[in-house]
């Protein structure tokens, strides 16, 4: 296989999104241990709020993953017979796994680092773009997805965004 065709396949499969996401997550992990730290008077309140957001994020990701059932594996594309899932947190937001990820990284950032929070905001923006690209694919594969997208106004987090 020619190198340019492998590159084209990588791009078509969303490889650039995954690469950018991985780089931002690695940056967030590194920033957790780098200055600047939060001001002293904010550390205790953020040390309380942060872990709560981490737990909420993990809970939302697990709930969303379980709601997808056999329709989803993080390592493969859905099989052709897969159906559009609108159960569990998908009744409340179109991309709750991304929402859970944002809560998770925001919670860690609030405990450790201002820089990590800035990178978390960048990751949220990246996931905004990723989710829009995914929705275009879903509309082609499941025409009813367009109606779901219009009906379900929240993209990531129920009642927030």
Give the tens place of pLDDT for each residue, 23-45.
999 999 999 998 888 999 999 99
- Please tell me whether residue 105 adopts helix, strand or coil conformation: helix
Report the C-alpha gap between 152 and 88 in whole angstroms.
Answer: 13
What share of residues in the chain are helix, strand, coil (percent, to 5)? 70, 0, 25
Query: Does a structural domain hold residue 91?
Result: yes
Q: Reply yes or no on whether the pLDDT at 8 is more than 90.
A: no
**How many domains does the structure of the chain reveal?**
1
Query: Does a structural domain hold residue 159?
Result: no
Mean pLDDT of 8-37: 84
At 52 the pLDDT is: 98
Q: Reply yes or no on whether the pLDDT at 76 is more than 60.
A: no
Q: How confident is the model at residue 147 (pLDDT cuts 50, 70, 90)?
A: confident
The whole domain housing 72 covers 3-151
Give the tens place of pLDDT for each residue, 113-144.
999 999 999 999 999 999 988 888 888 887 87
Query: Does a structural domain hold residue 161?
Result: no
């Amino acid at each position: 296989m020619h190198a340019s065709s492998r590159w084209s396949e990588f791009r078509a499969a969303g490889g650039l999104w995954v690469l950018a996401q991985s780089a931002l997550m690695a940056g967030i992990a590194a920033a957790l241990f780098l200055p600047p730290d939060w001001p002293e008077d904010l550390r205790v309140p953020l040390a309380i709020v942060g872990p709560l957001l981490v737990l909420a994020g993990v809970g939302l990701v697990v709930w969303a993953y379980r709601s997808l059932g056999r329709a989803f594996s993080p390592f493969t594309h859905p099989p052709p017979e897969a159906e559009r899932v609108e159960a569990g947190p998908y009744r409340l937001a179109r991309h709750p796994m991304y929402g859970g990820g944002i809560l998770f990284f925001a919670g860690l950032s609030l405990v450790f680092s201002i820089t990590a929070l800035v990178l978390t905001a960048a990751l949220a923006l990246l996931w905004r773009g990723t989710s829009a690209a995914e929705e275009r694919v879903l509309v082609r594969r499941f025409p009813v997805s367009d109606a779901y997208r219009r009906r379900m106004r929240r993209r990531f987090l129920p009642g927030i965004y």
